Amino acid sequence: MVQKQVRGVFLPRPYGRFFTQTWLLLLLGFMHKTDCIERTLMSMVRFLDELKESKVPELGGKGYSLAVLINNGFNVPKGFVIISDSFFKYLKRNNLMERIEELTSEINENNSQEKSNEIRNLILNGKMPDDIAQEIRNGLKRLNDRYISVRSSGVAEDSLKASFAGLFDTSLNVKTEPDLVLENVKKCWASL
């Protein structure tokens, strides 16, 4: 069997399946809210081949596992992780945190779909902060690919206590036009 190096934007899928693209690993940090939302010295984008001793809360389960494989000499597609702090920064800069908490507290068995759709629309309609958008643009230039996949790597996606693999939106064969990629990142975040 011939092993191919694949390219795209990566957010892991269940069953360890990879698509023929470079992987941009989008980390959905919904399970790991940190107090460092506005930290400016730290990059919101981390390349998989540069990660030496990162932790799951920063990269998500799949991002962490891919970094471990790379560090042990396995052939893993190029890609990067958009860390969980970027999601919370997005929510904060768009003044969405309080409204989402309010909507979440109103959820019951009769309105869960309606409230979930409201939250999804809030996230989809927000503006990507310029600093995060620029880091993603720079990451795309470095990947230098025509098509990518945008996928999730939840912090608790494949833990001993929970399994969320495959539940969140995945966008495959996304042209590496920055605005299109940014919209797909928001779609992935909104699928929480």
DSSP string, 76-137: ----EEE-HHHHHHHHHHTT-HHHHHHHHHT--TTTHHHHHHHHHHHHHTSPPPHHHHHHHH
Give the domain ranges of the chain: 14-85+130-190
What's the token pair of residue 181?
Answer: 């990629």
What's the token pair of residue 84?
Answer: 């969980």
Strand pairing of 22-26 and 171-175? Answer: unpaired
Per-residue pLDDT tens digits for 24-59: 555 443 334 444 444 444 688 888 888 776 666 667
DSSP reduced 3-state for 187: helix
14-85+130-190: CATH topology: Dna Ligase; domain 1 (3.30.1490)
Per-residue pLDDT tens digits for 58-85: 677 778 888 888 888 998 878 888 988 8
What is the rounded average pLDDT of the residues 120-134? 97
Per-residue pLDDT tens digits for 138-147: 999 998 888 8
The pLDDT value given to residue 8: 40
* Full-model pTM: 0.74
What's the token pair of residue 29?
Answer: 């940090």
DSSP state of 37: T
Residue 7 and residue 158: Cα distance in Å, rounded?
23
Strand ordering across the sheet containing 171-175: 45-47, 80-82, 22-26, 147-152, 171-175
Least trusted range by pLDDT, from 15-24, 40-49, 120-129: 15-24
**What whole-number percentage of the chain has pLDDT above 90?**
35
Q: Which residue has the higher pLDDT, 138 or 164?
A: 138
